[in-house]
Structure 1
Amino acid sequence: MKRVKVVVVGAGVVGFSAAVCVAESLPSCSVTLVAEKFSPDTTSDGAAGILFAAQFPDIPLQRQKRWFKDSFDHLLSIAHSAEAPRAGVMLSSGCQIFKDVPAVRRPFWGDLVIGFREMSERELRRFPEHTFGQAFTTLKCECVSYLPWLHSRFLRAGGTVEQRRVSSLDELAGFDLIVNCSGLGSKTLANDTSVHSVRGQVLKVHAPWIQHFTRDGDGKTYIYPGIDGATIGGTRQEHDWRLELDEEDTAGILERCKKLEPSLENAKVVSKWVGLRPSRKNPRLEKDMVRVKGRKVPVVHNYGHGGWGVTLAWGCAVDALGLVRESLQEISPQAKL
């Protein structure tokens, strides 16, 4: 029986997660992943990779919870396995602090991480400008290790990769189904004008004495210790497409982070990084049908996760797999999936 040819566009954490899910779950499909850039040159590679989420306005909350839970459970199983150091996945404990009490004291993901609680007055004394905090244990997934690990897993599942730029879906005319995980590339590939850049700049510092993460609820200031150095940041600059380092941003990051963690005064800056998060009001995860060189081809869109790509990648990949199954049944009702 002829195998169905599926192509996944994009080699970031969203793309590789989707590719692995399809390749491992649908042996009747031949899966190819196509991208211009692979690790260590993707936006995902610079992500701090800590798991918690924003709430998107127009997506049912139960669906968002499922995305988060599926991602968390997937990465937790890796963190508890012998693969943890090779995959770059670890448990991470710390706190999120707020200058004012937030309207929602317990976010939807509070029951999905480990040990979520409100911080005591004694704990908050360390942060005199902040009046409220949440302490919990979550996961940290470092894509500089995780992406090569997913890449190997994809190849073991029989997947193939091609490194090339895709400027139009017409260039994918030889495939039966397209999974679009092209991030900012969807501005062109999907003609989606709502996709925009949110510029992020972070620093990697050597500070092995810092063992717990701290995140300001403003979403711009954070300290995330990792396997090899701590990531501190950051910036959230909407519609900013600059990839050059901004030394004013560097100075601002150091100043804000030292305010939360004075011991960073003694930390050595190891590297500086800039990335463009592929953002939109809500991630797009849905079926579509497009005309590719005169032929109707099903497309599953999976992009626009902004700064939450690592957090949601596996859960969205599981969801995308379901949409791939549905699409294939529609074009070939007799197919065994």
Structure 2
Amino acid sequence: MKRARVVVVGAGVVGLSTAVCIAETLPLCSVTVVAEKFSPDTTSDGAAGILISEFFPDIPLARQRQWFKDSFDHLFAIVQSESSPEAGVMLSSGCQIFPEVPADTKPYWSDFVIGFRLMTDRELKRFPNHKFGQAFTTIKCECSSYLLWLEKRFRKAGGLVQQRKVNSLEELSISYDIIVNCSGLGSKSLVGDAEVYPVRGQVLKMEAPWLHHFVRVADGKTYIYPGIRSVTVGGTRQDGDWRLQLDEGDTESVLQRCTRLEPSLSQAKVLCEWVGLRPGRRSPRVERELVQLRGCRVPMVHNYGHGGSGITLSWGTALEAVGLVRQCLHEMPLKSNL
């Protein structure tokens, strides 16, 4: 049987995860990843990579739970394998703290991380400006390693890679039968999604090998995440901000906030600073549609808009996207020149 030609647009963690899932589970597909930027130049490369998810109001809770569980299970299997060092995936223990007791003291993902519990009063004394906390073990993903590992796995599954900018969907319809859009913030122009907006993030990588436990303030703007080679210290969540230049004021703010939580950071060396634009959206878009291109109806699957939860939900939404591609295969008459 002739193979369907599938193109995945985007080589961040969502794009590569989706491409790997398609290539490994749908042998009737020939899969190509096309992107302007690959690691180390993607937004995912600078991400902190800790598995903690925000809640999306327009997505059914059961669906969000499945995305998180699938992603956690996938990465946990890597943690327990010989691939862990190469993939840059590790267990990470720590706490999430709140200035006031939240309405929801137990987030939906607490069922899937390891050892979730509420912090004791004694533990909270370490953070005098915070009245509530959660302690647990989750997974940290060093994306600069993980993306290369994913690409290697994709190529091993027969996947092809092209580095070039995609200016329009029309140019893809000539060579491919199914388009999978994982272009993140690029979806604003590529598919005209006005709901997509940049969420500017600025972080520091610091040398502080004595730190072994993460600390995250619940609003997601202040965090300390020890990793394999450095500690990621952040951050910012600036909606609608397209600036990719480093901001000295943001750097000072990050250092002040994080040193207040962990005073020993004042002795740490700053290794580098990084700015990236997360693909913000009220809720991720994981769905399929038929688009009219060059007089033909072309099946298209979307998987983008994860905001700061890209790594956290990447494998889960990739698996759902594979199901949507499978539906496209069942419903489309393959072109005669396949």
Question: What is the rounded CA distance, in whole Å, between the counterparts of 2:191 and 2:115 in structure 1?
Answer: 41
Cα offset for 1:28? 0.9
Question: What is the rounded CA distance, in whole Å, between the counterparts of 2:36 and 2:318 in structure 1?
Answer: 20
Partner in structure 2 of residue 301 of structure 1? 302
SS in 1 for 2:305: strand
Partner in structure 1 of residue 213 of structure 2? 212
Partner in structure 2 of residue 87 of structure 1? 87
Partner in structure 1 of residue 11 of structure 2? 11
Question: 5 Å matches for 1:1-337?
Answer: 1-173=1-173, 174-332=175-333
Cα offset for 1:294? 1.3
Structure 1 runs of 4+ off > 4 angstroms?
Answer: none
Question: What is the rounded CA distance, in whole Å, between the counterparts of 2:223 and 2:164 in structure 1?
Answer: 35
Question: What is the rounded CA distance, in whole Å, between the counterparts of 1:218 and 1:41 in structure 2?
Answer: 27
Cα offset for 1:150? 0.3
Cα offset for 1:219? 1.1
TM-score normalised to the size of structure 2? 0.98
TM-score normalised to the size of structure 1? 0.98
SS in 1 for 2:109: coil
Question: What is the rounded CA distance, in whole Å, between the counterparts of 1:283 and 1:332 in structure 2?
Answer: 29
SS in 2 for 1:201: strand
Cα offset for 1:182? 0.2
Amino acid at match of 2:276: G
Cα offset for 1:332? 3.9
Amino acid at match of 1:301: H
Question: What is the rounded CA distance, in whole Å, between the counterparts of 2:78 and 2:301 in structure 1?
Answer: 27
Cα offset for 1:190? 1.1
Cα offset for 1:304? 0.3
SS in 1 for 2:108: coil
SS in 2 for 1:129: coil
Residues 276-327 of structure 1: CA deviation (Å, up to 9, x unaligned): 0001100000011101211111000000000000000000000000010011
Question: What is the rounded CA distance, in whole Å, between the counterparts of 2:212 and 2:145 in structure 1?
Answer: 20
Residues 27-76 of structure 1: CA deviation (Å, up to 9, x unaligned): 11100000000000000000000001011001100000000000000000
Question: What is the rounded CA distance, in whole Å, between the counterparts of 1:89 and 1:219 in structure 2?
Answer: 21
SS in 2 for 1:300: strand
Question: What is the rounded CA distance, in whole Å, between the counterparts of 1:82 and 1:56 in structure 2?
Answer: 34
Cα offset for 1:159? 0.4
Question: What is the rounded CA distance, in whole Å, between the counterparts of 1:100 and 1:218 in structure 2?
Answer: 11
SS in 1 for 2:283: strand
SS in 2 for 1:254: helix
SS in 2 for 1:69: helix
Cα offset for 1:197? 0.2
Cα offset for 1:205? 0.2
Cα offset for 1:191? 0.8
Report the RMSD for the aligned CA atoms in angstroms: 0.7
SS in 2 for 1:290: strand
Question: What is the rounded CA distance, in whole Å, between the counterparts of 2:214 and 2:206 in structure 1?
Answer: 13
Amino acid at match of 2:60: P
Amino acid at match of 1:83: S
Aligned length: 333
SS in 2 for 1:110: helix
SS in 1 for 2:8: strand
Cα offset for 1:262? 0.3
Residues 99-147 of structure 1: CA deviation (Å, up to 9, x unaligned): 0001100000011100000000000000000000000000001110000
Over the matched positions of the two proteins, sequence identity in percent amounts to: 66
